[in-house]
Amino acid sequence: SKTLRLILGDQLNINHSWFNKTDSTVIYCMMEMRQETDYTTHHIQKVIGFFSSMREFASQLKDGGHEIIYLKLDDHNNKQTLRENLKSIIESEQVDLFEYQLPDEYRLDEQLNEICNFLEVETRSYDSEHFYTSRKELSNHFEGKKQWVMESFYRMMRENHNVLMQGSKPIGGKWNYDASNRKRLPQKHKPTLPLVFNHDVSDLLNIINKAGVKTIGYIDSKHFVWPINRRESLDLLDYFLENCLPLFGDFQDAMAVNEWSVYHSRISFSLNCKLISPKEVVDAAIDYYQKNKDKVDISQIEGFVRQVIGWREYMRGMYWAKMPEYGKINELNNKHKLPKFYWTGNTKMNCLKTAINQSLAYAYAHHIQRLMITGNFALLASVDPDEVESWYLGIYIDAIEWVEMPNTRGMSQYADGGLIATKPYISSANYIDKMSNYCGSCYYDKKQKTGNKSCPFNSLYWNFISRHEEYLSSNPRMGMMLNLWRKMDGEQQSNILEQAEFYLNHINDL
């Protein structure tokens, strides 16, 4: 009897129990397919990152003595869809049992269910053995509760997995040091340069171009910077611990011109395709902290751990609890198109120009750039969450729907009405100027609310407050801003709204 085991592009986990031993009755299969390159318009570095890592993984399996069928994008027998490729391999190899690891995307889950119904062989699914939690753990944790606040899930995770705990108390006495994670980079402070790799991916790029795959963004095909295997992913993690963790928490929200990752780890791609696991990342970081308490204090390590066992697992739980409805919600009824400059970086707004150009150049922006620059602006401009989402799903190397969607629709666009974010993440120029050096060299004036050089974030911010005044009035966290708006004199209010309308009508020219 013969077993066929599917490995999806984001299931590159060599420590999965599947690979503990070799078995001559088991064939593995991996496929580069048009159904994956075309479900949204991806950044070219994302396509290259996935296919390169898959190729490396396949050769690692082969070297380990496993049998593997690998379909390259341009192989003549590649039928370009999961269903047709599986059908064909199962027939030609005379397979009697088909096995797969549970996918993380709803789209692929549906496809695999459908395929299993249709196949005439026996089928079996396995856990991916990657996450701390199961798909349903979050909904179980919050069952019967109205608010699904991350902090309560995070504390449960710390306790259940005994992470940064001293008995039943959090190490350091506090659960969360978020308040001390909000420093601006001092002038002349130069963050450590990010560790980059230097892969020549020209051959693969040729294949992708020849196939006519539509992509966005740029690539230097002689110097591809992202890790493509486990060794490099671990090197990136080590580099982060040594060089960035000591200041990670402090500058987690800081942004600066010419600094594309500040002290962030850039390990999201390696994590999301499962080259490394969240547990080994958290364990390594805590181990480093314990051995280097002179360099790393509790607020840095807690800030980092919270992202991985808190936010990441929470977002996944939210996705599985709320799909498929989550993909359609639009609480604020936003309908505008995404401004054209999101695809080109061609805008006079320095913050957006920097964040977008950097995303096109590296397929990466760090969290605050995503949330408080590109996300903030899209929300203030009432852009349809579908439009916003297809941008985020394509442009970032780490973008896989299970983590992209709750971050975009929920956290950033408030399209779920506050399930994830306790208030809309919006700001005027004031916050952006506090956390970055973008405003200093901007065409627009961060201080002005009206006039042809006034910063668009300012009038659009008050326009948002005014437009949603009634809706927001039930949110205590918005009370202060609503009061400020209500206290402004009528003439000033109408000047600001007029300015906002002008900007909204000329959004592509900003």
Q: How far is the CB of 17 from ligand FAD (least distance, A)?
A: 23
Do residues 207 and 26 lie in contact, with contact meaning Cβ atoms separated by under 8 Å?
A: no
What Å distances lie between residue 266 and 193, 366, 369, 395, 498, CA to CA?
Answer: 12, 8, 14, 15, 41
Residue from the set 224, 341, 392, 438 that interacts with ligand SF4 by CB under 6 A: 438
The nearer residue to ligand SF4, 221 or 350, going by C-beta atoms, is: 350
The nearer residue to ligand SF4, 439 or 465, going by C-beta atoms, is: 439
If binding is defined by CB under 6 A, does position 318 make contact with ligand FAD?
Answer: no
Residue 444 binding result from ligand FAD, ligand SF4, none, given CB thresholds of 5 to 8 Å by partner type:
ligand SF4
Residue from the set 32, 105, 384, 404 that interacts with ligand FAD by CB under 6 A: 404
Which tokens sit at 114? 């459908």
Q: How far is the CB of 305 from ligand FAD (least distance, A)?
A: 9
Q: Tell me the residue length of the chain.
A: 510
Q: Which residues contact 256 (CB under 8 A, 6 or more apart)?
A: 185, 191, 262, 436, 437, 438
Q: How far is the CB of 370 from ligand SF4 (least distance, A)?
A: 15
CA 211 distance to own-chain centroid: 27
Integer Cα distance of 204 and 51 in angstroms = 8
Residue from the set 350, 376, 382, 463 that interacts with ligand SF4 by CB under 6 A: 350
Q: How far is the CB of 310 from ligand FAD (least distance, A)?
A: 8
Integer Cα distance of 63 and 15 in angstroms = 15
* Neighbour-count burial for 395-432, b at 16+ CB within 10 Å, e otherwise: bbbbbbbbbbbbbbbbbbbbbbebbbbeebbbbbbebb
Q: Which alpha helices (H) appear in 31-105, and where do they start and end? A: 34-37, 44-63, 82-92
Residue from the set 73, 115, 351, 507 that interacts with ligand SF4 by CB under 6 A: 351
If binding is defined by CB under 6 A, does position 439 make contact with ligand SF4?
Answer: yes
Phi/psi at 186 (nearest 5 deg)?
-60, 155
Residue 40 binding result from ligand FAD, ligand SF4, none, given CB thresholds of 5 to 8 Å by partner type:
none
Do residues 148 and 271 lie in contact, with contact meaning Cβ atoms separated by under 8 Å?
A: no
Residue 44 binding result from ligand FAD, ligand SF4, none, given CB thresholds of 5 to 8 Å by partner type:
none
If binding is defined by CB under 6 A, does position 349 make contact with ligand SF4?
Answer: yes
If binding is defined by CB under 6 A, does position 384 make contact with ligand FAD?
Answer: no
* Neighbour-count burial for 30-55, b at 16+ CB within 10 Å, e otherwise: bbbbebbbebbbbbbbbbbbbbbbbb
Residue 395 binding result from ligand SF4, ligand FAD, none, given CB thresholds of 5 to 8 Å by partner type:
none
Q: Which amino acid is at 449?
A: K
> In this structure, what DSSP letter does residue 337 have?
P
The stretch among 123-131, 194-202, 267-275, 337-345 that binds ligand FAD (CB under 6 A) is: 267-275
For the CA atoms of 408, 414, 416, 418, the dihedral, rounded to the nearest 10 degrees, stands at: 130
If binding is defined by CB under 6 A, does position 6 make contact with ligand FAD?
Answer: no
If binding is defined by CB under 6 A, does position 446 make contact with ligand SF4?
Answer: yes
Interface map 54-73 toward ligand FAD (x if CB under 6 A)? --------------------
If binding is defined by CB under 6 A, does position 142 make contact with ligand FAD?
Answer: no
Q: Which residues contact 454 (CB under 8 A, 6 or more apart)?
A: 444, 445, 448, 499
Number of neighbouring beta carbons within 10 Å of residue 443: 12
Which residues in 454-473 contact ligand SF4 (CB under 6 A)? 455, 457
CA 175 distance to own-chain centroid: 24
Q: How far is the CB of 184 from ligand FAD (least distance, A)?
A: 17
Residue whose structure tokens are 């939690």: 133
# of chain residues touching ligand FAD (CB under 6 A): 27
Residue from the set 150, 219, 435, 442 that interacts with ligand SF4 by CB under 6 A: 442
The nearer residue to ligand SF4, 264 or 446, going by C-beta atoms, is: 446
If binding is defined by CB under 6 A, does position 288 make contact with ligand FAD?
Answer: no
Using alpha carbons only, how large is the chain's radius of gyration in Å?
24
Residue from the set 154, 392, 444, 457 that interacts with ligand FAD by CB under 6 A: 392
The nearer residue to ligand FAD, 116 or 329, going by C-beta atoms, is: 329
Integer Cα distance of 65 and 58 in angstroms = 11
If binding is defined by CB under 6 A, does position 370 make contact with ligand FAD?
Answer: yes
The nearer residue to ligand FAD, 29 or 432, going by C-beta atoms, is: 432
Residue 350 binding result from ligand SF4, ligand FAD, none, given CB thresholds of 5 to 8 Å by partner type:
ligand SF4
Integer Cα distance of 321 and 143 in angstroms = 10
If binding is defined by CB under 6 A, does position 262 make contact with ligand FAD?
Answer: no
The nearer residue to ligand FAD, 69 or 156, going by C-beta atoms, is: 156
Helix and strand totals (H; E) in the chain: 23, 7
Residue 455 binding result from ligand SF4, ligand FAD, none, given CB thresholds of 5 to 8 Å by partner type:
ligand SF4
If binding is defined by CB under 6 A, does position 216 make contact with ligand FAD?
Answer: no
**Three-state secondary-structure class, residue 409:** helix
Instruction: Give the interface with ligand SF4 as residue ranges (CB under 6 A).
Output: 349-351, 429, 432-433, 438-439, 442, 444, 446, 455, 457
Instruction: Give the interface with ligand FAD as residue ranges (CB under 6 A).
Output: 264-268, 271-272, 307-308, 311-312, 315, 366-367, 370-371, 375, 392, 396, 398-399, 403-404, 407-408, 411-412
